[in-house]
Chains A and B, each alone.
Chain A
Amino acid sequence: MRATRAALFLAVALSATRARALETPPVGGEPMRVDLTEATSVFYNVDNRNSRTGVTATRLDDDWGVWYNRFNAQGSWQSFQVGLRLDSAWFYTAPDPTDTALTLLNERRTNPRAPYGPDDARFFVQKATEASRELATRYTSWLYPSKYYVGYTTRDVEATIGDFYGQFGRGFVLSVRKLDELASDTTIRGGRVTARVKSGDFRLRMTALGGVLNPLRLDEASGRYLGVTSAVTPGLVSIAEGGMPRAAASPFDDAVAPTYAPDRIAAAELEAGTRLVQVGVHGSLVSRTMLDVDGTPAALSPGVVRSADTLRTGSISVNLPDLGGHGAAYLETALQSLAYPAALESASSALPGTGYAIYANVTLEEKPVTLTVEAKHYRRFFPLVANVDLARAPEFSVVQYNAPPTTEGVWVDTEFEGFNTCVSGGRAKADVQVGPHAVAFAWIGRYLTWAESVANEQCRTGSDNLNRVWDFASGLELVSADRRSRVTATLGTRFDDTARLVPDPNGGETNVFYRELYGRYEATKWLGGPFSLRLQGWDRRRHQTLGGVTTPWTELQQLVAVDYAPRLTAGAGFEYTGNPQFPPTYFNGMLGYNFDSSSNVSIFAGQRRGGLRCVSGVCRVYPPFEGVRVDATFRF
């Protein structure tokens, strides 16, 4: 079956290497327009230097290659739209489980000439079994319809059947969207209707939607895929999951277990108001498909959110977009209720009760100063994470259906563990126009969180659970008079202390949980003619008391690129980490060519450090990459 799919993939890819737009003769008085986009990536991963003695998974991410393809077709005619995206991956080479087991065994043996004993045999069998189970969820070629839809849009009504994104309010109730930085692209596959009513200055918008959550099934950074089985696709879910990747057995274990169980969702939103004030009511209900294990419903990966079989969230928002021309204000309050299978509910007294969240954002503008204040007060308010088997597909831990605001910088990755589930605090930022082309800014953030240094599902706000955080930063933005050159620079620091004493790995006890001093910059300098120089960097001095590194360490990330507009870009990157758990230096280079504004090709070669990457509080751990990749996009 997989060979057939691989062959189908090749046929599609080879026939679609250069896509063209089509405009048909008029149909019903109007031509039909078809847009085609082909995005293709070929890469090869060499040894990424993360190997650990005896750890199988760190060998299985070396020496593999994939041709990853996304073919997107969209058509429109009158008020109708239709779209289809076919994703495919062909793994042209991948590690072998017995080779991996043999390599690990030979590394373990102190005397290569000694005869093999029972311990060696047991180790070899164990590692071969581990490797084959790991490979059952990786490096499997697939061709599947990742997204499709039919839509109808008029001024007053919008309807979609198929895949669509959704965001209600500021993301407490529903936030299902594309996050390119995290290689995440979750949609809802079902139906959505939006109706708009306008009367004078009064606007009313109503949205109702329902369906099955549909995350991306292939993770190109790791070669992992999410597979379903019939056990987790009951009823209509099986229709939505038609053609999607299925879970497969390993050569040493014929038990087939899903790594993803599609969640169902129903949600609605009502927004009404005038130009000056808008009120919104939002609600969502997520229903999980649990596995039946000996008559007991079980999540693929238990957890305070994943073990809940019904998740209800609702919120009310008030938006004042224009405060007399001097700013804007927004307030949203939300409630969340997690319901569990009866047996777990009755056995555990520590499961969280109803949670709530209050969020406010006020912007005041009085030239030359703009003041923005964001505040949050969350109690037992959790991200609606997907029903994914984290033991076998940890890369998909990022899949979630809402995104409670963090009030911090978009790139902040130091809200550890359950920071944002039990927190009070906020950030005030001031921007001052200090010149015609210069803005200086500064912010101060203060947070009290009770679930960062201890598991605290019930959000008990005693001092024994408390972390106190201060976050300071300042910087400036400069733009040249001709607007061809600009620079943004930020210098900041973070102090995160526990209220209680915690063991210091260097001896004694301390209140220090985390410290950081950092600098970020982005600069574009026009060199004359078609040439521009771009610089980007993020340099950090970090200290984490309980994170395994006993002393502070430095991280550097620098990128320099030269643009020869509009066609060519050449760049080089350097990364450094003083964390002894990882190799210290990483070098890379890239070359890009633009055929036109929407078609391009680029090649990247070298090393990229892995680690945590976050976008507005949604985070994932990327594996390190070493190798070569070629990316091309052709669009009309």
Chain B
Amino acid sequence: MRPPHTTTTPSSFAAVMLAVFISACGSNNAGVSKELLDAVRDLNRPRDGGAGASYPAPPYGTATGSVVQDLCFQGWTDPAAANFDPARMTQICLSDFHADPDARVLLVESCAIWCVACKFEYGGSGDRPSLSKQLEQRKAKGFRVMGTIFQNGAGGPAAPSDAAQWASVYSLGFPFAVDDAHQIGLFTSPNVAPFNILIDTRTMKILLTLEGDEPAVLFGKVDEVLGKSSP
């Protein structure tokens, strides 16, 4: 049986402890308090809730071919059904898609209010389908999408109201969340948007990371993987 999923890996946790110890001894900062260290150690305990299915074990990484760690966000599984109401946001984790028996490929999309290309990725144009349309065309084959927004128009962290505004403009019916802590920063610079991560939901391995709006390559890869997948 696989161990319950966590957001830290034993190896990375040990490294953090070592680095924290070193920095506490030698850095200019006041140092990491024992209380924070204890909170970090406690992360190794199993997380409450979750989808019930076990998540692939660490090590986790950010490069293509590595297993992505279980990231969680506050958002809606169906923004339109929730009437884009921030009060109706719940926790959405990547493990939720791993637990979906019909899912094959997950697209995690990261956007910002200031991002012009993001607007066209979501809204489409002319003969270029919107992201919702791209999902609709492939959902039966196991394609899933989760959108995230990390910055507002002034470059500050996105708020639930920014997520609500974005989701309502594009009438989103797929999971959409706010990434105010910029967890996608694990993968790329804050200047890069849109940023897309394709994940094989059966193994949670990263299939592709893509900077910018390149639908031919992105959905070419999606179709390539869906074509190889068997239900």
Is A557's CB within 8 Å of the partner chain B? no
Cβ contact within 8 Å between B23 and A455? no
Is residue A369 within 8 Å, beta carbon to beta carbon, of the partner chain?
A: no
Contact A255 B221 (CB under 8 A): no
CB of B117, distance to nearest CB on chain A (Å) = 6
- Closest-by-CB residue of B relative to A301 is B211
User: B189 is contacted by which of A126, A128, A394 (Cβ under 8 Å)?
Assistant: A394
- Pairwise interchain contact B117-A455, C-beta atoms closer than 8 A: yes
Residue of B nearest to A253 (CB): B61
Q: Which residues of A contact B63 (CB under 8 A)?
A: 255, 257
Say yes or no: A117 contacts B39, CB within 8 Å.
yes
Is B3 among interface residues, defined by CB-CB distance under 8 A? Answer: no
The contact string, 1 if C-beta is below 8 Å from chain A, for chain B 214-225, is: 111111110110
Query: B82 at the A/B interface (Cβ < 8 Å)?
Result: no
- The verdict on A124 contacting chain B, using a C-beta distance below 8 Å, is yes
A54 to B216, CA, bound (A): 32
The answer for the CA separation of A416 and B65 in the assembled complex, in Å, is 32
Assess the B65–A293 pair: CB atoms within 8 A: yes
Does B19 belong to the interface (CB within 8 Å)?
yes
Question: Does A55 belong to the interface (CB within 8 Å)?
Answer: yes
Contact yes or no, A302 B126, CB < 8 A: no
Interface of chain A residues 527 through 577 with chain B (CB within 8 A): 544, 546-550
Tell me the chain A residues, 285-315 only, with Cβ under 8 Å from chain B: 291, 293-294, 298, 301-304, 307
Roughly how many angstroms separate A344 CA and B207 CA in the complex, as a whole number?
13
**A126, B12: Cβ atoms under 8 Å?**
no
Given B125, B186, B214, B224, which contacts A133 in the complex, CB threshold below 8 Å? Answer: B186
Closest CB in chain A relative to B224 CB, distance in Å: 3
A346 to B225, CA, bound (A): 11
Among residues of A, the one whose C-beta sits closest to the C-beta of B190 is A55
Given the known inter-chain contacts A98-B27, A257-B63, please indicate yes or no for A128 contacting B216, CB distance below 8 A: no
Q: Which of A108, A302, A621 contacts B221 (CB 8 A)?
A: A302
With A96-B27, A130-B185, A546-B119 in contact, do A53 and B157 touch (Cβ < 8 Å)? yes
Q: How far is the CA of A56 from the CA of B157 in the complex (A)?
A: 12
The contact of A351 among B36, B38, B188, B216, by CB within 8 Å, is B216
Stretch from B49-57, B95-103, B140-148, B176-184 that touches the partner: B176-184
Chain A contact residues, majority secondary structure: loop
B185 lies within 8 A of A550 (CB): no
Cβ–Cβ < 8 Å partners of A453 in chain B: 116, 120, 125
B224 touches A347 (CB 8 A): yes
Interface residues of A in 110-149 (CB under 8 A from B): 115-118, 120-126, 128-130, 132-133
Beta-carbon contact of A118 and B126 below 8 Å = no
The chain B residue with its CB closest to the CB of A50 is B155
The verdict on B13 contacting chain A, using a C-beta distance below 8 Å, is yes
The distance in angstroms between the C-alpha atoms of A307 and B221, with both chains bound, is 11
Chain A neighbourhood of B195, CB < 8 A:
391
Interface residues of B in 23-61 (CB under 8 A from A): 23, 27-29, 32-33, 35-36, 38-40, 42-43, 61
Q: Which residues of A contact B189 (CB under 8 A)?
A: 57, 391, 394
> Which residues in A have their C-beta under 8 angstroms from that of B42?
118, 121
Name which residue of chain B comes closest to A254, CB basis: B11
Interface size on A, residues (CB 8 A): 83
Query: Quick one: given A128-B19, A302-B210, A580-B154, are A348 and B116 in contact (CB under 8 Å)?
Result: no
Closest Cβ neighbor of B213 among chain A residues? A455
Residue pair A350, B220 in contact (C-beta under 8 Å): yes
Determine which of B28, B40, B126 lies in contact with A465 in the assembled complex, contact meaning CB atoms within 8 Å: B126
State whether A350 and B215 are in contact (beta carbons under 8 Å apart), knowing that A53-B157, A251-B19, A546-B116 are contacts in the complex. yes
* A202 CB–B CB distance under 8 Å: no
Smallest Cβ distance from A574 to chain B, in angstroms? 23
Chain A residue contacts of B209, Cβ below 8 A: 301-302, 391
Contact of B64 among A105, A293, A417, A455 (CB under 8 A): A293
**Option from B22, B117, B169, B187 in Cβ contact (under 8 Å) with A417:** B117
B133 CB to nearest chain A CB (Å)? 14
Taking a contact as CB atoms closer than 8 A, the residue among B23, B115, B185 that contacts A96 in the complex is B23
Among the stretches A35-43, A325-333, A456-464, the one at the interface with B is: A456-464
Residues of B within 8 A of A350 (CB): 215-216, 219-220
CB-nearest residue of chain A to B61: A255
With A122-B43, A255-B63, A581-B114 already in contact, the answer to whether A52 and B157 are too (CB < 8 A) is yes
- The residues of B that contact A117 with a CB separation of less than 8 Å are 39
Q: Which residues of A contact B191 (CB under 8 A)?
A: 57, 394, 621
Are B16 and A120 in touch, CB under 8 angstroms?
no
Among B39, B114, B214, B227, contact of A547 (Cβ-Cβ < 8 Å)? B114
B153 contacts A549, C-beta separation under 8 Å: yes
User: Which of A126, A133, A460, A582 has the most chain B CB atoms inside 10 A of its CB?
Assistant: A126
Cα distance, A598 to B127, chains bound together (Å): 57
B109 within 8 A of A: no
B113 interfacial by beta-carbon distance below 8 Å: yes
Task: State the CA gap A350–B117 with chains docked (Å).
Answer: 18
- Report chain B residues within 8 Å CB of A251: 15, 18-19
Q: A117-B39, A118-B39, A394-B192 are in contact. Are A304 and B214 (CB under 8 A)?
A: yes
Shortest CB distance A297–B (Å): 11
Rounded to whole angstroms, the CA-CA distance of A327 and B14 in the bound complex is 72
Render B108-139 as a binary contact track against A, CB cut-off 8 A, 1 for contact. 00001111110111010111100000000000
Known: A105-B36, A122-B7, A458-B216. 10 other contacts (CB 8 A): A52-B157, A55-B157, A55-B182, A57-B190, A98-B20, A99-B27, A124-B36, A125-B12, A257-B63, A548-B114
Which residue numbers of A lie inside 8 Å of B, CB to CB? 52-58, 96-99, 102-103, 105, 108, 115-118, 120-126, 128-130, 132-133, 251-253, 255, 257, 291, 293-294, 298, 301-304, 307, 343-344, 346-348, 350-352, 390-392, 394, 416-417, 453-458, 460, 462-465, 500, 503, 505, 544, 546-550, 580-582, 621
